[in-house]
Structure 1
Amino acid sequence: MTTQRNKQKLSPEQPFEEVLEFVQPMITSILLKCRIYKDFEYYRHIASIAVWEAWRKADPPKGQFSAYIYTCVKGEILKELSKESLFLKNYTPMDNETINYVHDYEISKRNPVHIECIMSCLKKEERKILLLFYVEGYSYSEIAKELGLSLDAVKKRRTRIMIKLRELLSSREE
């Protein structure tokens, strides 16, 4: 059956399930070439959707069907990788332990005024960054746009604010 399968020509007239099964080795090859080693099933699913789109939109006079499938699958995988990269750039998960620490500290001390004291030690812009990031849920790029700063400046300032909060909290404990 393997030799018959290799000799078989891929065609958009074939049932989709047959086409999808036939291109599985191609999908695996694309995933490996794109260096996808985690979330393999997620990207395989994206590839399957791309195969379906290619199968649905195929126009045989315009070119070889297998090449069209390859291009569609690789394009969708790269697009998804690009989206993921952009997401990680704009929404880099930073440690929230400082905010959690403040919260836990307040609960343990039962002193809600304490947080107001700490916040009053911050500059207006620092408070605004914290509020936009943690309360409003803004991304780094949205905060940068709101405050007229660069993306890197917002990230650096947030890091400095976290350090400052840790210092303020540890000085209050003593």
Structure 2
Amino acid sequence: MGATVLQVEVHPPRVKQMLALCCSAFSWQQLCNLEYIMLHKLHFSLGVPTISFLEHFMHKCVDVGQAEVSKTLEVQALARGVVELSLADYAFTNYTPSLLTICCLALADHKLQLLCLVDLHLGGHPEAALQDCLGKLQLLVAINGTLLTQMLPFHISKKCGLFLSSE
């Protein structure tokens, strides 16, 4: 059996940079398709460190007595859904996993109206970066509310106002 190797790319090269290295022999779409084919052929399992940060930050909140376990599980479920949505959007590749996680947790906390369960400054990120990421996440959730509703347990969707009735 092969060993699992973890590789974390903090500053991945941009597609534009890769195209320049290839002397513009490929289009943007061709390069993205080629990357997909190579990863598939190599049986890569792409993991996302953001999910690990979710659990880490939630444990911190419970350990210092900021939140009840039942409430943190709800926040974590909603934040996980928002994280999953963000993985499909290139706009979020600019953010470090810890920054993205803090913002997803803060947004989930706000949507569930749990009143500052998550400290935005827990990761030590600049205020401008936090506000930029939060703004983009709010837009992402607004645009993809229906999809997010389908990803979450019904009671959480209903509690945070994402549930859309068919009436």
TM-score class, shorter: 0.3 to 0.5
Structure 1 length-normalised TM: 0.32
Asked which structure has the greater CA Rg, the reply is 1
Structure 2 length-normalised TM: 0.33
More helix by share: 1
Higher relative contact order (CA 8 A, sep 6+): 2
